[in-house]
Structure 1
Amino acid sequence: MSARRHPLLKSISTTPDGPQAAAQPVDGPAVGEPKGVAEGVPIAGLPDPSKDDGRRPVAWLHITAPASWSVTPSARSWCTCGYERHAIGRAAALQLVAAHDEHRTACPLLNPVSEGRTAA
């Protein structure tokens, strides 16, 4: 019986003699307007998201009111001026919401007093 010869499954490539330069891309002429997201879509002039407009959150009101009537709701109101209140229960949470609204009208950070008003 004659032995079968299998072809080699892996070919051995030759190594180059020295370093070779990579193929360089061909620069085309810069013609036309810059492309948007897709062909035919103009580039939108969106505002710079890193630009600061000076607004900052000052007063917060957080209310936890579960859907189940068997769970007691709670509320928390706080401000960067130091005002901080916490309430547990429906009636107390409603009173805290009203107190939070009153604080927003009286807070020195939200309603700065002008110099003419302090002098009087």
Structure 2
Amino acid sequence: MGEPKGVAEGVPTAVRPDPSKDDGRRPVAWLTIVAPSSWSVTPSARSWCTCGYERHAIGRAAVLQLVAAHTEHRTACPLLTPESEGRAA
């Protein structure tokens, strides 16, 4: 008698990508904004990064400022920007 088969003969099997494959990318900075649909409710936001940067904001103007600060941090964060090339030793 032959070896047991995992599927019925003649049934095609799908080859799936290897789930253990990793491209090395990881989330580093997050921006969460809570803006309820009602204008009577105050929006809030939180910006944080794995480098230790963390800010909170409450109110429309403060949330807009936090969004700008989060964007600025992403351009200056040591975890997101590669070190300058061609440094003198």
Alignment correspondent of 2:7: 35
The answer to whether residue 50 in structure 2 is matched with residue 77 in structure 1 is no
Q: 2:76 aligns with which of 106, 109, 113?
A: 106
- Cα distance, 1:34 vs. partner? 6.2
TM-score, length of structure 2 as denominator length: 0.80
- Whole-angstrom distance in 2 between the partners of 1:96 and 1:43: 50
User: Quick check: which has more Rg, 1 or 2?
Assistant: 1
If asked which structure has higher relative contact order (CA below 8 Å, sep 6+), I would say 2
- Whole-angstrom distance in 2 between the partners of 1:67 and 1:95: 20
Identity %: 77
Question: Following TM superposition, where does structure 1 have runs of at least 4 consecutive aligned residues deviating by more than 3 angstroms?
Answer: 33-36
TM-score, length of structure 1 as denominator length: 0.61
Query: Gaps spanning 5+ residues in structure 2: where?
Result: none
Higher relative strand content:
2
Deviation string for 1:92-114 (max 9, x for gaps)?
A: 10111111111111211111114
Equivalent residue pairs, number: 88
Q: How does 1:44-55 map to 2 (within 5 A)?
A: 44-55=14-25
CA RMSD, Structure 1 to Structure 2 (Å): 2.5
